[in-house]
Amino acid sequence: MRPPETRTARPARPRTWPATLGLLSGPLLWLTLFFVLPIVIVAAYSVGILKLFPTDTSSAFHDWSRLLTGDSIYLGLFWKSMRVSLIVSVTCVVVAYPVAYFLALGARKRKYVLLLVIIAPFLTSYLLRVLAWKVILGDAGVINSFLFWTGLRGSDDPVQWLIYSQFTVMLVLAYVWVPFVALPMFVTLENLDHSLLEASADLGASRWRTFLRVTLPLSGSGVLAAFVFVFIPTIGEFVTPLLVGGTRGYLYGNAVSDLFTQGLDWQAGSVLSLFLLAVVAVLMAIFARFLQVRSVSA
Amino acid sequence: MTSDVANSRVALTGLRVFYALLVLFLYAPILLLAIFSFNDNPTPAFPLERFTMRWYQQFLSNPQLIGSLRNSLVVASISSVIAVALGLAGSFLLVRRRFVGKSAVSALMLSPLVIPYLVFGIALLILFSAVDEFLTNTMGVYIGLGLHAVVVGHVVVSLPYTILTIVPRLERMNISLEEAARDLGAGPAQTLRRVTLPLLVPSIVSSFLIAFTLSFDEFAIASFLTARELTWPVYLFAQLRFPVLLPQLIAVSVIVMVLSIAVVVATEALRQRAERRLDLAPPA
């Protein structure tokens, strides 16, 4: 209940237009110049309207058709990245849900502290956490040296599939994202109307039945949001594969990055980047319908 | 008291165990890094040797490493200040103003949240290259890549976070305080300076720290935009190919990690305390 004296701001009247324009100009100008414009330029570059190097062609629809008809390796790499992202996202959600549930409905007094403990690793450096796994999983790394030391394996026989494989990439990415994923699910579960759960119990449903038929469905939007928050960024992931993926863990993002830093075919790289952006935009549009995204301020 | 599974003692115990195991899993690699940073062995492996502080001393005499840390501090500071300033403007715009196309503007200001940093880094690379191409052909000048480009990119990706931090606070703020100031004769600028902004300080500080942490640790965008001066993540990444430097890098990483956790925890605690004191009526 708000006390009667508390009021929040009403939208301003038209005579404050100059102030509005002034406020608008800062962030909008920056974003237009440094966010919208670069993307437009990439699009123009990818179809050959813009040229940067002497070797750039102006019929880069060629690159686009190669990508989309699967004439090159890139489409296959793209589906590989989608698959990896899907596995990582599902794993993160499945692992984090019990924790979110426990904190929202089970823990009572110190739930926010316990939540912070789970989230804190996500706030430390991403690169460092990947580095930690590189140190742990290597052929002479922590796990293998431990196995040698305790005699469980000979020192000429390290466990090799631990690193530089698709498994490594998925494990490290899941490790990185699980803390982040717990938060949206926790928020949804915490905001659940407990009276609905009580009503279910009053109507005779067992605890498990209540959970499966009431709690779980009601937390669906949090679960979906968590899934989307991991899935979409991970499609374009290239840093983890670069550090611990090797050749088997090579993903679409690596192909794009290499076209700029190794292959020096910027036009093909732009085409691939734009394709990724388009996919992300489409996915966001689809999920936004499901998630009923509100604007920031009503 | 909930009425579903969490009501059962068995389930609760199971959940507690699961929570503990997950915390263990999440912190073990970090703790292992910390342990090996004190290990007297140039390769991080078992068995453990003697305790040593030499890796911590060694990195202090590595000018490139220190230089990259300094660069990251500068880039993070500058980009965070800009991001918070722009975020404040954007937040006031979204909360206090009504105008045509507001939802589009709102979407635009939040859209950097969903762009893959790979794509955005590349887009900025191409932007700066195109601008340089134009400048070289017309005026014979040249901007080039470098830390300034990294600052630009970091402001863009930090902006949604600053807005998302400040907007809720602004929405909940009691307008009567500002109206009282106006009634007492304060002009709009004075009200802003002496009433509104001080009330917003906790969220301003929070958003600054979020932007700072984001920028300091950001690798993907920076990797495309740095030239001779590297940021810390870019430097770290480049050196990971040389095993001899690994212990120093681990030592610095441990310091950075501990500092960032400490700062986050401290800020969150302070912010909650400050918000409780600044609110005349706590939110419903």
Tens-place pLDDT, residues A116-160: 888 888 877 888 888 888 888 877 777 877 777 777 777 777 777
Nearest to A254 by CA among A169, A191, A155, A195: A169
Please name the member of B89, B117, B153 whose beta carbon is closest to the beta carbon of A26. B89
Residues 144-203 of A with CB under 8 A from B: 144-146, 148-149, 175, 178-179, 194, 197-198, 200-201
Chain A CB contacts of B219 below 8 Å: 126-127, 239
d(CA A57, CA B177): 62
Return the pLDDT at A60. Answer: 59
A296 confidence band (pLDDT: 50, 70, 90): very low
Selection from A172, A23, A162, A188 nearest residue A84 by Cα: A172
pTM: 0.85
Contacting residues of B for A266, CB less than 8 Å apart: 126
CA distance B143 to chain A (A): 15
| Yes or no, beta carbons of A131 and B250 under 8 Å apart | yes
Say yes or no for a CB contact (<8 Å) between B264 and A120: yes
Q: Could you tell me which chain A residue has the CA closest to the CA of B219?
A: A127
| CA neighbor of B215 nearest in space, from B149, B131, B122 | B149
Does A175 score more than 90 pLDDT?
A: yes
Tokens of B228: 């001779």
Q: How far apart are the first and last CA of chain B?
A: 21
Cβ of B123 and A253 within 8 Å?
no
Residues 107-136 of chain A with CB under 8 A from chain B are: 114, 116-118, 120-121, 123-129, 131-136
Q: What is the pLDDT of residue B284?
A: 46
Cβ-based contacts of B25 with chain A (< 8 Å): 175
Q: Identify which has the larger pLDDT, A130 or A88.
A: A88
- Residues of chain B neighbouring A135 (CB-CB closer than 8 A): 32-33, 36, 44, 246, 250
Residue A149 tokens, joined: 């030391």
- Local structure of B39: helix, strand or coil: strand
Give the ipTM: 0.83
Whether the ω angle into residue B47 lies within 30 degrees of 0, i.e. cis, is: yes
Residues B275 and B210 sit within 8 Å (Cβ to Cβ) = no
- The 10 Å CB-count burial string (b at 16+, else e) for B270-280 is ebeebbeebee
How confident is the prediction along chain B (284 residues), in pLDDT tens digits per residue? Answer: 566 776 788 888 888 999 999 999 999 988 888 888 888 887 777 777 888 888 888 888 888 889 999 999 999 999 999 999 999 999 988 888 777 888 888 888 988 988 899 999 999 999 998 888 888 888 877 888 889 999 999 999 999 999 999 998 888 888 888 888 888 887 777 777 888 888 888 889 989 998 998 999 899 999 999 988 999 999 988 887 777 778 888 888 888 888 887 887 787 788 778 777 776 444 54
CB nearest A9 (choices: B6, B96, B123): B96
